Structure 1
Amino acid sequence: MNMRYIDLFSGCGGLSLGLQQSGWKGMFAIEKSSDAFLTLEHNLININNHFNWPDWLQKKNHDIDAVISQHTSELKSLRGTVDLVAGGPPCQGFSMAGRRNEKDGRNKLIDSYIEFIKLVQPKILFFENVKGFTVGFKRGNKRGEAYSQYVWKKLEGLGYDVHGKIVNFSEFGVPQRRQRFILVATKIGQAQTFFDLIVKNRADFFKSKNITDKMSLSDAISDLTKSHGVKDSPDSKNFQAGVYSKPNSNYQRLMRQGKPLTNKIADSHRFARHRAETIQRFQYILENSVANLTISKALREKYNLKKHTIVPLCQNSCTPTLTTLPDDYIHYCEPRILTVREYARIQSFPDSYEFKGKYTTGGNRRKFEVPRYTQIGNAIPPLFSEQAGLALKDML
């Protein structure tokens, strides 16, 4: 029998995809963004029929506070039937990569999360957030309590055994040095067991996928370079899209799921239309910078660049943490930014997972639009969430 879970703040579905691959069955997912939900709906509802969606909840994007206020009795009626509530509130207010802001309204979603747990009372919780979630906000010369401690205490107050730690996803086969705070809470046994299990099970998991924990960027995306050829983009007029070469690594074979894709167009593999001077600048940066480090002050001054982060990537190691801004990075061997599909590969989404909505956005629209790059940059890598799902099943 499948274990049953609810995905909160589900985004485009990275966590749900991994849980599906590890044998879990979704009940429903709550995601405020219509853009991100469109991607989840396309892949995990319309194609895979992964959720046993309840009649009382419309299959669409939802705000968690609206679901709590409008469906309190329905949520309470789920008690005893939910094995897991998975997911973590949006991280932007806590992130060290952006402007940390204690007053960011999204931080209050922590209380919505706790309220949801009180109503549903699952056996286990899996909670993910940025590393900055464990660091208190500065108040004058002091730091306030970290939100991680706040959540920890609240869950203990609800009768859960709680454990949390920083996990580096690159140690679990993801070709990216992405550190995230993972918290697990359980009413059956010890929460620490989860962290023991993901390490204990890792070697067998790698063997089953024919990969290692030493995945480099070229292992991830070298079959997607522009030099393999381009065709007209199927979803964007006046843009070019890339085609597959033969797979060059076991990681690529895993992402392609063994399908014969050579010379076919990859989903969401649309190349940016860079101006000639941008291409020349990128080429100069690739030839005169240290890979995986943001460019020097001298280079910034040479090109009069105000942008805070520009990182030429290294082909022989995993990438730094991908942000939601594609122009933070330059491809390791081509003078261009990464495509959405390359982003997805680095986040371990299989190539069959198709992204929906706009490719990019800008200005004030960033506050409410969640384009494809942002969906992926905010996601939990499915390769890690699959391993998490296996460990959580073992705990039950």
Structure 2
Amino acid sequence: MLDSNFSGQELRLFRESQKVSQAKLAKETSIVQAKISSFELDKGVLSDEDKAKIFQFFSNSSKVEKVVKAKKKITKQSNFSISSLDVDERKKKYALSPKNKKYVQDLDTLYDRHLNSNKDFKAISLFSGCGGLCLGFSAAGVRIAGFIEKDKDISQIYRDNFSSTPQLANDITSLSHKDIEEYKESIGDVDIVIGGPPCQGFSLSGKRDKSDARNKLFENYLDIVSVFKPKIALLENVQLLTSMKDESGKYIKDLIINKFQDLGYKITYFEVNTKDYGVPQSRARVFFLAIKNDIALDLGFPTIEKENLTFGDACSDLEYLESGESSNVDELHFAVNHPPHVLEWLWNVPEGSSAHDNEDESLRPPSGYNTTYKRQVWNEEGSTVQTTFGMISGCRNVHPVATRSLTVREAARIQSFPDRFIFNGKVGTIRTAIGNAVPPLLAYKIASYLVDELKKTK
């Protein structure tokens, strides 16, 4: 029997031995499945009340047996099809935003500035992804002298847009102190180190696998800072990082701060939302800003902007597409072809609502929560772009007006990538690259602020 004070791993092993799926356990206990999943992966915690619900469920053997034997609800076949008259009515809502032209032009100007070879400062980029953070810094007048990115396909996207930037290495964990010193000798002094180490090796509870190589990625970042000794280091991550702990129970944010201080840096962190910096998307992030103690600069951050941009501001010039349709002028603007029954669930769902909210139970998805199969809102900022934005069943991935998931171009626009940014390769790789990126427009505003500060030291 499951102990009442079970761990995530103990719950997973016992649940699987009883042949109870996460989805069924979530339904029977009224606990969000994502919370159970996070707990089992040791990336989240369950309240005592939630643990009691789970323990009580598994203590009732007859109920467990009934749940296991229950047949999965079968989705009925649907003959639903979209009529041209219905589409014409929808297109009337698809009005061009008065701010759209300027937004698209601003992104195009950002790319022009990136291409300008006149750069005042020099940086290296770690955990570079496809180059969202680098694009903003390059546009602000910072030459990217080298980058490190492990994923070879995403590295190719980076190289397509930063053709003159050498890839120093693919696996940062393989670099020795001597390797880093040789890079320093080759590149010379740099003003800034930028990057966002993945944080999957840590958890909210402090439990982790000590052998997980991802636990050392912050240390790898700091090893490079210790050799290059830049004037400024900028470290980006998910906002949740501020609540994560190591195996001794210490907060990761404090570990980062202490190690930077040991290296001779003053440091602070800023919790921000991209929507406050001209990006038409709600995306919570944290930035650690470290400045060498001998540099007479204050630890500051760009001022929050008063006016937020919306989904419509970003995308209203794009061709209207329904499920399965493709643009004739933009190869990245194509819609996934969704099954008829999914289209029927979502067709009459209003903006900001989910198919799970349908009054007619037959038009509700058989499983999931009301953040799934959910429309975004045209006149509000876009929801956080994730790597799964092409899945209509994902979290807030449904277009506000059309009945489909987001296109690659729409996601790139919401993430503030200029249309001229080159995305070649497999669609899955491109989606991952966009979903994991720092929005270039946010990066540009941070970089412009830091460049202005650095100019004061010259």
* Superposition TM-score tier, normalisation by shorter sequence: 0.7 to 0.9
- Measure, in 2, the Cα distance between the counterparts of 1:308 and 1:105: 35
Question: Structure 2 counterpart of 1:216, which letter?
Answer: T
Change (3 A) 1:100 1:132: farther
Change (3 A) 1:392 1:150: same
Aligned residues of 2:132 and 2:417 also touching (Cα < 8 A): yes
- Measure, in 1, the Cα distance between the counterparts of 2:132 and 2:249: 32
Q: Is the partner of 2:427 in helix, strand or coil?
A: coil
Change (3 A) 1:123 1:180: same
The aligned counterpart of 2:364 is: 302
Query: Cα offset for 1:391?
Result: 1.2
* Residue 119 (str. 1) matches residue 227 (str. 2): yes
Aligned residues of 1:324 and 1:378 also touching (Cα < 8 A): yes
The aligned counterpart of 1:8 is: 126
1:22-49 C-alpha deviation (Å, 9 max, x unpaired)? 111110110001121111111121xxx4
1:252-285 C-alpha deviation (Å, 9 max, x unpaired)? xxxxxxxxxxxxx22422211212222222214x
Aligned residues of 2:356 and 2:370 also touching (Cα < 8 A): no
Q: How does 1:227-242 map to 2 (within 5 A)?
A: 227=321, 240-242=325-327
Query: Cα offset for 1:102?
Result: 3.7
Query: Cα offset for 1:330?
Result: 0.4
* Residue 324 (str. 1) matches residue 324 (str. 2): no
The aligned counterpart of 2:332 is: 268
TM-score (norm. length: structure 1): 0.74
Query: Cα offset for 1:213?
Result: 3.2
Q: Is the partner of 2:342 in helix, strand or coil?
A: helix
Q: Is the partner of 2:235 in helix, strand or coil?
A: strand
- Measure, in 2, the Cα distance between the counterparts of 1:321 and 1:36: 20
Q: How does 1:1-396 map to 2 (within 5 A)?
A: 2-45=120-163, 49=164, 51=165, 53=166, 59=167, 62-68=170-176, 71-77=179-185, 81-93=189-201, 102-103=208-209, 105-137=213-245, 144-187=249-292, 188-189=294-295, 192-195=298-301, 198-199=302-303, 213-227=307-321, 240-243=325-328, 265-284=329-348, 286-287=349-350, 291=352, 295-296=356-357, 302-306=364-368, 309-310=371-372, 311-326=374-389, 327=391, 328=394, 329-360=397-428, 371-396=429-454
- Measure, in 1, the Cα distance between the counterparts of 2:358 and 2:191: 52
- Measure, in 2, the Cα distance between the counterparts of 1:169 and 1:240: 30
Aligned residues of 1:32 and 1:63 also touching (Cα < 8 A): yes
Name the structure, 1 or 2, with higher relative contact order (CA <8 Å, separation 6+).
1
Query: Cα offset for 1:145?
Result: 2.0
- Measure, in 1, the Cα distance between the counterparts of 2:246 and 2:291: 31
Query: Cα offset for 1:225?
Result: 4.0
Aligned residues of 1:292 and 1:319 also touching (Cα < 8 A): no
Q: Is the partner of 1:163 in helix, strand or coil?
A: strand
Change (3 A) 1:16 1:337: same
- Measure, in 2, the Cα distance between the counterparts of 1:111 and 1:120: 14
Change (3 A) 1:323 1:294: farther
- Measure, in 1, the Cα distance between the counterparts of 2:370 and 2:213: 25
Q: Which of the two has higher C-alpha Rg?
A: 2
Question: Structure 1 counterpart of 2:378, which letter?
Answer: Q
- Measure, in 2, the Cα distance between the counterparts of 1:294 and 1:94: 34
Change (3 A) 1:87 1:379: same
- Measure, in 1, the Cα distance between the counterparts of 2:436 and 2:355: 21
Residue range with higher mean Cα deviation, 114-123 or 382-391: 114-123
Q: May I ask how many residue pairs the two structures share in their alignment?
A: 326
- Measure, in 2, the Cα distance between the counterparts of 1:272 and 1:242: 12
Question: Structure 1 counterpart of 2:320, which letter?
Answer: K
Residue range with higher mean Cα deviation, 21-30 or 114-123: 114-123
Q: Is the partner of 1:352 in helix, strand or coil?
A: coil
- Measure, in 2, the Cα distance between the counterparts of 1:300 and 1:27: 57
Percent identity over the alignment? 32
Change (3 A) 1:60 1:156: closer
Query: Cα offset for 1:184?
Result: 0.6
Question: Structure 2 counterpart of 1:117, which letter?
Answer: V
Query: Cα offset for 1:2?
Result: 2.0
Change (3 A) 1:336 1:64: same
| C-alpha RMSD of matched pairs (Å) | 3.1
Aligned residues of 2:246 and 2:252 also touching (Cα < 8 A): no
Q: Is the partner of 1:4 in helix, strand or coil?
A: strand
- Measure, in 2, the Cα distance between the counterparts of 1:111 and 1:138: 13
